[in-house]
Amino acid sequence: MSETQNEYVVRQTGNISSWNDEIEKFQAQADRTTTKKLDNFKKHILMLKEKRTGLEEKVFEIKKSAEGDWELLKIDADKSFKVLDKMFKTAKAYFN
As for how many domains the chain has, the answer is 1
Report pLDDT for 79: 92
Q: Residue 60 sits in which domain range?
A: 5-95
Report pLDDT for 13: 93
Report pLDDT for 82: 92
Confidence of residue 28 (pLDDT cuts 50, 70, 90): confident
What's the pLDDT tens digit per position in 39-51?
A: 877 888 898 899 9
Burial of 75 (0-12, 13-18, 19+ CB in 10 A): exposed
* Phi, psi at 2, each rounded to 5°: -80, 150
Q: Rounded to an integer, what distance in angstroms lies between the CA atom of residue 47 and that of residue 23?
A: 10
Report pLDDT for 35: 74
Confidence of residue 1 (pLDDT cuts 50, 70, 90): low
What's the pLDDT tens digit per position in 49-58?
A: 999 999 999 9
Evaluate if residue 14 carries a pLDDT over 90: yes
